[in-house]
Amino acid sequence: MQKQTPTFGKILVMVLFALSCFGLLLFLWLSFGGTTPLKPRGYRIAVDFPEATQLGEYADVRTAGVSVGKVRTKSLVDHGNRTKVILELDRRFAPLRSDAKAILRQKTLLGETYVELTPGTPNAPYLKEGGTLPDGRVKGTTQLDEIFQAFDPKTRQGFRDWQQNLAKTIDGRGQDLNDAIGNLPTFAHSATDVLDVLNGQSEAVRRLFRNTGVVFNALSRTAPRCTA
């Protein structure tokens, strides 16, 4: 077996490959909410939610649609009746006012939940790091199943029947449904153009329908009657 010292080019290729793998892993780690290695810990506060079953660790914390932090941990407190959630905010968005509000919201109907924060008023004192947002400033979210529970049994059964029949309707036609949804923006854009034209000619359209009614009334009066 012949052995030889790796050339500089081979060593450089191996180093670049290792760095690219590390960069890819770091990107995936940060994309899923992980913290940047060696980065100082952010400003952390605790929020007690009445219910946070669908809130996961590393979920987004947002203010006015802007991501300001992440959910770090959650645990049951008060004999399991509440969920204590630790939020970590970026230092540039800290500290938080003590009269800020926290509410759970959903990105999609599938239940991807995040925490929405309102910044509070300028005159309110700041919440110390490691402090807990007052319970009066915390609002839970209404889950989809809770909305269905508000209906009476007959309405819930009707909704189930409608969903089952809808599933039968689109069974085997998933591609057609996808195509219809994909063409919806184009259809809406074209429909907007048509409605804009009709709106610009609204007076003419009204005259058309009014005159059409007059014509049909005249025809109905002059139409010959059948005699036995």
Mean pLDDT of 52-72: 87
Of 103, 139, 100, 101, nearest in space to 123 by CA: 100
Residue 34 Cα distances to 23, 51, 81, 91, 146, angstroms:
14, 24, 28, 16, 32
Q: Of how many residues is the chain composed?
A: 228
The pLDDT tens digits for 132-165 are 999 888 876 666 666 677 778 888 888 888 878 8
Would the pLDDT of 60 be above 80? yes
Mean pLDDT of 209-227: 67
The pLDDT tens digits for 81-118 are 888 999 999 888 888 899 999 998 887 666 678 999 98
Report helix, strand or coil for 97: strand
DSSP structure class, residue 155: H
Q: Helices 174-200 & 202-222, crossing angle to 10 degrees?
A: 90
Residue with tokens 């509000």: 101
Would the pLDDT of 1 be above 70? no
Cα–Cα dist 147/136, whole Å:
23
> Contact at 8 Å (CB) between 212 and 204?
no
Would the pLDDT of 226 be above 80? no
